[in-house]
Chain A
Amino acid sequence: MARRLPKKDVVIIGLGWTGSIMAHELTDEGLDVVAIERGPWRDSPTDFPTNYMQDELRYRIRHELFLRPDQLTFTFRNKLDQTALPIRSWGAFMPPNGVGGGGVHWNAETWRFLPSDFVLRTHLTQRYGAAFLPDDMTIQDWGVTYDDLEPHYDQFEYLCGTSGTAGNLKGQIQDGGNPFEGPRSRPYPTPAQAQPFGATLFAKAARELGYKPFPQPSGNLSKPYVNPLGLRMGQCTYCGFCEWFGCGNYSKASPQTTILPVLIRKSNFSLRDNSEVIKINTDASGKMATGVTFVDTSLQEWEQPADLVILSAYSMFNTQLLLHSKISQPYDPAANTGVVGRNFTHQTISSVNGFFDNKKFNFNPFIASGSIGMCVDEFNGDNFDHGPHGFVGGAYMGQVQTGGRPIQTTPVPPGTPKWGAEWKKAARDNYLSTVKPGTGVHGSFYSYRDIYLDLDPAYTDRFNRPLMRMTIDFHDNEIKQNRFMTDKFAEIIKAMGANVVEKEYRKAPYDVTTYQTTHLNGGAIIGADPKTSVINRYLQNWDVSNLFVLGASAFPQNAGYNPTGTVGALAFWAAEAIRSQYLKHPGPLVDA
C-alpha cells in the first residue's frame, strides 16, 4: 500500500537536462518542486574525478553510468510479424540513469535543427509534391517553429556556454560558420574549440571540394565561462573522454556544471534519488493528474501528490510511463489509430575510416573532445535538391573524432586479421595516421507507420508490468540516404590524402547490438492535432492538461543532428509557457 506524502506544487519525473531546467525555472517562479530520480545522485568532483574517469573499460565497455538492464529493459524486434525478445545488454543506444541523465555522458554536440525541419511535411510536399514521399512515411510538422524556439535555443546555449562560430547572425551569413543554419539572435557564448590536425585537414579538403566547413558547436568549452546562473566552467583539456564519461574538469556542459549547484541551494526544491516512478496518477475523470506513485530501494511505494506533473525522463521512459499510466490512447499501427508510441525514430549513422601514410601524417587522435571536429552541412535536411536522388532527409558529416581511446580506437586497414601479431603490427602502424570519425555521417531518421513503441504481450518487469516493445527497422529511404551521404563523405576523406578509404554504410535490418547513438526519439510527439500527437505545441498533454512531457520523445521525426540543443530549447519553451500562461490560467493552452 502506497504511503502518501504531503502535496507539492510540482513533481518532476527524472532529473536530467530537461528536469533540471524545468526545476530551476519553476522554483524561480516560487513553486515548491520535488524531483524524483530513478538513479543515484551524481556530482562532478566526487563522481567523475579526473584521476580515474578516463577508464574506457569501466565506463565504455562495462557501461558504468547507464541503467542496468536487469532493473528495466525493453523488448525488440524489426518487423510487426516477429516476436520481440528482451534486450539483456545495451547496444544500439544507452539508456541513462541517475541525476544529470544523458547530460552526464553526452558528447556535448550542441546543434540547432534547421527551420525547415520543424515544418517538414509541408516543406517537402511543397517542394517535391506529396507523391515524392513514401506512402507509409508519417513525418509531420511540429506545430512549433524555429522562430518560436530561437530565443530558447539561445537560452540553452548560454546556459551551457556553447563554443562555436555563428553562420547566420540575424539573417547575415557569417564566414567560418554554418551558412545553412537558421538565423541566430547573437553569437555563440564562447568561440569554437581549437581544432586538431585531422579536423583541420578535413576542412581544407572540404573547402577544395567547394563546401563550407565549420566547427561543430561544442558544449566542451574553448575557454572559461560563467553562465547566467553564476556557475563557472573551465576550459576543455581535450582529454578525449566525453561520451560515455562524466567530466570532472567542469568543462562539459551538464546539469551538474550548469544548473544543479544553484538548484540544490533553493529551499523550495527537493530531490528523491534511487526512486522509480511507476505511475502517473489521474483523477476519476482521467483528465487531471493527481501526482505520481514511486518505489524506493526498500520497495516501499509512495504517493507524491502534486498540482503539476513534469514527465522529463529519457524519451523511451516517457513513452513507457504514459503507456503504464494509461494516459492518452496507445498507437495501433494496424488500425492507424492512437498516439502513444507513434513516430518512434532513431538516427542513421555511418562512418568512413581513412588510412594515411604514417610517415607523412600524424593525427594525434587522442587530442580530442566529444564535440570537436569540422563539419559540412551541404547535405543536411533539405539543403540540397533531393529530386534526382529519390530519397528525403540528410546528414551533417564531419571529421568528428572524439578520442583515441585504446580499446575502441585501434583502427586497422580492411583485410587485417582480427588478432595476433599481424593485427598488433597494423594497430601500431595505423594508430596515429588514421582518421576514424566517431559519427562521420550523422543522418536523419524519418518516421513510418510500422516503427513504433507499445507494451510487450509476453515479458514483464520487476513490478509485473509489461516491458515496452520496440518495433524498428531501416526503410529504403534511410538506406538510400545513407549510401548517398557516406559516398559524399568518403570523397572528402579521400581528398584529405588517404591511401585507403573504408566505408561503413548503415544497413538494414536495424541492429540493436551495436552502438549508433542514444538519440531514440518520438513516441510522445508534439503536434497541432490531438489525433496524431500526444502533446500540443507547448509540450502539454492533450488529455491531461496538468501534465507536460519534455525531451526527445516529442520529436515527430529525427533530423540529421544531435538532439540535445533542441531538447533544451523545447524545455525552456515549455517552461516559459507554464510560467507566462499556464500558471495564470491552468488548463489546456491549446484547444483540442
Chain B
Amino acid sequence: MHSASANTWLLRAFACAAALLLTSAPTIAGQSDPQDFTQISKGRYLAILADCGSCHTVPGHWRFAGGLPIETPFGDIVAPNITPDRETGIGAWTDDEFDAAVRRGIRKDGSPLYPAMPYNAYTKMTREEVLAIRAYLNTVEPAHHAVVANTLPFPFNIRTAMRVWNALYFTAGTYRPDPAKSAEWNRGAYLVTGPAHCGACHTPKTLLGGDKTSRYLQGSKIQGWFAPDITDDKARGIGNWSVDEIAAYLKAGHNKASAATGPMAEAVSLSTSHFDDGDLHAIAVYLKSVPGRQDTAKSLPADDPAMTAGAAIYRDECSACHMLDGRGTPKLFPSLADSSNVRSDDPASLIRVVLRGARSVATATEPTSPGMPAYGWQLDDAQVAAVLTYIRNAWGAAAPAVSAEDVTRERSRLASRPD
C-alpha cells in the first residue's frame, strides 16, 4: 500500500512537470527543429561571428535579454530582447519575421529597424544561416524582459525615415564569392563584410550614418573612440602586420605591436577570441588585400617645439614601459613605434588613452590584461598634445601634429562619458 501510493504520487509529480514543460515550450519558434544539433551548433557559432551577445546583453545580466543602450550619433537605441520569451522576446516570431529583421532590417510590425542593427552586413548571410541563429536562440533560457528600443529624440524617432536611409545606403543580398580569389580570401571577405560586421565600426560614416564606401575600413569615430584603419595601409592601417599577427591580435587581443582596449576589447572578448583559427586566418588574408590610402604624411622635424617638449615628457612619463625606442614589451606594453593605430588621422583614441588610461583585454591565451594609468590629472592639454605629437612622429614615423585644442575638445567630451 505504502509503495503504491508513493508511486501514484511520483506519477502525478511527473505529469505536472511534463505539463509545465509543455506550456513553457515555444509553440511557434519558427520551423526549426529543437533537436537539430547540427543546425543549433552552427547557429551558436554564427551568433559568435555576428557578436549578437555584445549588443543584446547587458554585461553581467541575462544573456540576450536586451536592454543595453547602443550609442549612435543620433541618440541611444536600446537593443531588444532576443531570447525565446513569447511576450517580450522573439518566441512568437515566425522564421520569416526573424529573417526579415536580421537580413532586411524590417521589424515584426513591418516598420524599419534602425541600422544600429547591422542588417546591412547581416544581409550577406544566407537565410539558412540566419535560421540557424534562430534555432540556437530558441534554445537559450527565455527572459521575460520588456525593452523600449526606440529612445531617440525627434525627428530621429520617426522610423519611416529609415526607408530613405535604406534607399541610400542599404543593398540587400547574400555574399557573392569572387571566383578569381581563393576560397580562404572569399571566406574572409564574407566574414568581414557579413556576420563580423567590421565596417560597422571601422568604416567612416556619412552625416546620415551610412558607410562612406570609398573609404572602406579606413577608420571611424565610435563611442568616444576612433576605431582605427584596418586596411593594408602601412602608415595608418595594419599593413605592417603579418597575416599571423592579425590573427593573433583577434585571438588573444594582443600581438607584438598592439593590444585591444575599449570597444575592441569587448569584440575580442565576446566574439573574435572564440573564432576558429581558420576563420581568423581568412579574415587576416582578406584584410591584407584591402588597399588603404595612398597619401603619406610628412614627419615633423625633430626640432619642432612640440617634438622637443614631447620627447622630454615621453622620457619622463612613458619610457619606463614603452621604452626609449618606443618598442615596449611584446604583449605587455604596446610598441608605439610599430602601432600604426598611434598615427590615425583622428587622434581621439590616443588622447583618450592618455587622459583616462586604458585596460587591455584579458583572454584565455593572454590573461595578463595590462593597463595604463590615466594622465589627465597630471598633464595639461598642451603637454598631452606635445607628447602625442612626438609619439606620432618619432622612430621614423609621420602623422599630423595633435593640437592642444584637439585635447581640450576630447577632454570635455570625455567629461560627460561614464564609460
Contacts and interface: CB of A to CB of B under 8 A. Distances in A.
A230 B320 contact: no
B369 interface: yes
Nearest to B359: A45
Contacts of B372: 45
Contacts of A231: 367-368
B359 to A, nearest CB: 7
Contact of A232 (B364, B370, B371): B370
Residue of B333, B362, B368 with most partner-chain A CB within 10 A: B368
B357 A224 contact: no
B357 A49 contact: yes
Contacts of B359: 45
A99 to B, nearest CB: 15
A16 B340 CA distance: 40
Interface string A83-119: 0000000000000000000000000000000000000
A61 interface: no
B372 to A, nearest CB: 6
Of listed B330, B365, B367, B372, residue having the most chain A CB within 10 A: B367
A232 B321 CA distance: 13
Contacts of A413: none
Nearest to A248: B373
Contacts of A262: 367
B62 interface: no
Given A49-B357, A50-B321, A44 B371 contact: yes
B133 to A, nearest CB: 26
A332 to B, nearest CB: 49
B331 interface: yes
Interface in A194-247: 224, 229-235, 237, 239
B405 interface: no
A49 B333 CA distance: 14
A249 interface: yes
A46 interface: yes
Given A51-B317, A51-B378, A261-B368, A232 B329 contact: yes
Interface bin, chain A: 20 to 34
B362 A261 contact: yes
B168 interface: no
Nearest to A224: B329
Contacts of B364: 265
Contact of A45 (B331, B367, B370): B370
Interface residues of B, number: 24
B363 to A, nearest CB: 9
Contacts of B333: 234
Contacts of A45: 357, 359, 370-373
A224 B333 CA distance: 11
Interface string B294-326: 000000000000000000000001001100000
A45 B372 CA distance: 6
A237 B367 contact: no
B367 A50 contact: no
Nearest to B358: A45
A227 to B, nearest CB: 10
Contact of A250 (B332, B357, B365): B332
Given A49-B357, A234-B329, A261-B362, A249 B320 contact: yes
B75 to A, nearest CB: 31
Nearest to A233: B332
B370 A50 contact: no
A49 B368 contact: no
B366 interface: yes
Contacts of B371: 43-46
A265 B367 contact: yes
A229 B364 CA distance: 10
Contact of B329 (A235, A239, A265): A235
B184 to A, nearest CB: 29
Given A45-B373, A49-B373, A51-B375, A224 B332 contact: yes
Contacts of A239: 320
A233 B367 CA distance: 12
A383 to B, nearest CB: 38
Contacts of B367: 229-231, 261-262, 265
Contacts of A224: 329-330, 332
A327 B131 CA distance: 63
A23 to B, nearest CB: 15
Contacts of A237: 320
Interface in B361-394: 362, 364-375, 378
Contacts of A235: 329
Nearest to B333: A234
Nearest to B319: A237
B200 to A, nearest CB: 28
Contact of B332 (A43, A49, A51, A232): A232
Interface string B41-60: 00000000000000000000
Nearest to A239: B320
A265 B373 contact: no
Nearest to B320: A237
Nearest to B323: A235
Nearest to B374: A49
Contacts of B331: 232
A239 B369 CA distance: 23
Given A50-B320, A232-B332, A234-B321, A261 B374 contact: no
A51 B313 CA distance: 12
Interface in A30-60: 43-46, 49-52
Contacts of B357: 45, 49
A250 B332 CA distance: 9
Nearest to B363: A265
A350 to B, nearest CB: 33
Nearest to B378: A51
Interface string A251-263: 0000000000110
A151 B46 CA distance: 47
Given A49-B357, A261-B362, A261-B369, A234 B332 contact: yes
Contacts of B332: 224, 232-234, 250
B107 to A, nearest CB: 37
A561 to B, nearest CB: 30
Interface centre among A43, A50, A234, A248 (most CB of B within 10 A): A234
Interface string A134-147: 00000000000000
Contacts of B378: 51-52
B362 A265 contact: yes
Interface string A420-459: 0000000000000000000000000000000000000000
Interface string B274-291: 000000000000000000
A51 B317 CA distance: 7
B373 A250 contact: no
Nearest to A223: B329
Nearest to A227: B368
Contact of A230 (B366, B374, B375): B366
A229 B330 CA distance: 17
Interface in B95-112: none
A46 B358 CA distance: 10
Nearest to A51: B373
Nearest to A43: B371
A232 B366 CA distance: 8
A235 B322 CA distance: 11
A-B pairs with lowest CB-CB distance, top 4:
A45-B371, A49-B373, A237-B320, A232-B332
Given A45-B370, A46-B373, A235-B329, 19 more contacts: A43-B371, A44-B371, A45-B357, A45-B359, A50-B320, A51-B317, A230-B368, A231-B367, A232-B331, A232-B332, A232-B370, A234-B329, A234-B333, A237-B320, A249-B320, A250-B368, A261-B367, A261-B369, A265-B364
22 contacts: A43-B371, A44-B370, A45-B371, A46-B371, A51-B373, A52-B373, A224-B329, A224-B330, A229-B367, A230-B366, A232-B331, A232-B332, A232-B366, A232-B368, A237-B320, A249-B321, A250-B332, A250-B370, A261-B362, A261-B367, A261-B369, A262-B367
Interface of A: 43-46, 49-52, 224, 229-235, 237, 239, 248-250, 261-262, 265
